[in-house]
Structure 1
Amino acid sequence: MLKNSLRDFIDSAVERNFISSDDVKRLTGEVLGEGITSRLEVESLLALDRMIEAEESWGTALTKLVVDFLVWKRAPHGVVSNEDALWLATVLEVSGPSRNAMNIAYAILDEAGYVDVALLDFIMRGRQQARLNLIAA
């Protein structure tokens, strides 16, 4: 279940069709001051990321929140298991690998001591898609 404060944050952002730097500060301070606590929260924020425009600070905050949750709040710490990697790769791949999705995957790769190959596969597919897009342009 989603916290009411996070649901309100998402509803407000969707209504305005934009995430401002003040919104990011509110999200990281009041709404998710203790960080993300569930996969549902990650999925909701990633869906929001795909739907609307945002200030640049949004991508940085979203990346940090997801990395902290997956790498440091899930046991064993510093390890991204096969189950978590498959789940995250699937969620990140919805609508294609966006810039923020790729940044999240790379940040997890940088910070975790071990990352299952499923997330590496996502990164490789994203890089391949980026190359194809350059060729087609």
Structure 2
Amino acid sequence: MIQISLQDFCNRMVAKGAISHDDVRELARTVLPDGLMCREEADMLLGLDRAVPEADPDFSDFLVACVVDFAVWGTRPTGRIDADTARWLAASLSCGTGPTRTGARIAVEVVREAQTTDPDFVAFALRLNGRRAGAEEPDVPVALAA
């Protein structure tokens, strides 16, 4: 169940078109002082990440920490990303168009934090990490690229 205050917070940020450092502090201290409690809350914040690209870097850090903590330690079996959690997380991070930069960070950090991870999610995270690092660009000799 999504807390009304989280929905209000997200609505205000979308209307404002930006997320400031003070907004992130409000989110952490007032709206979600105990972190994420359900997938719907995580989905709402991931949607906010997509909807408001002009956000203080603290929002990205907060979102990564919250989603990783929830996915790895807040769901059963704790410390493990099973197939069900992996499917939800990959779908939520991708949202049909592919993850945001923050979403890619979340995938990689989930794999790092979890004791065991569904192999398909590990492959998903590795692909995202490769894209972030530019590994999917074609191999072109330096002399030809100039």
TM-score scaled by length of structure 2: 0.85
Which stretch of the first structure deviates more once superposed, 91-100 or 42-51? Answer: 91-100
Tell me which residue corresponds to 1:111: 113
Render the CA deviation track for 1:30-64: whole Å, top value 9, x for unaligned: 11101101111111110110111200001100001
**1:120 aligned to 97, 109, 122, which one?**
122
Return the alpha-carbon distance in structure 2 between the equivalents of residues 42 and 25 of structure 1: 17
Root-mean-square deviation over aligned CA pairs: 1.7
SS at match of 1:18: coil
Work out which of the two has the higher radius of gyration on C-alpha atoms and give 1 or 2: 2
Deviation, 1:110, is 1.3
Tell me which residue corresponds to 2:143: none
**2:103 aligned to 101, 104, 124, which one?**
101
Return the alpha-carbon distance in structure 1 between the equivalents of residues 60 and 123 of structure 2: 22
Structure 1 or 2: more helix by fraction: 1
Deviation, 1:127, is 4.1
| CA contact 1:93–1:122 (8 Å) conserved in 2 | no
| CA contact 1:5–1:31 (8 Å) conserved in 2 | yes
Runs of 4+ in 1 over 2 A off after TM superposition: 124-135
Number of residues of Structure 1 aligned to a counterpart in Structure 2? 135
1:1-137, aligned counterparts within 5 Å? 1-52=1-52, 53-94=54-95, 95-127=97-129, 129-130=131-132, 131=134, 134=137
Q: How much identity, in percent, do the aligned residues show? A: 36
Return the alpha-carbon distance in structure 2 between the equivalents of residues 72 and 128 of structure 1: 26
**Letter of the aligned partner of 1:56 in structure 2?**
P
Return the alpha-carbon distance in structure 1 between the equivalents of residues 108 and 59 of structure 2: 16
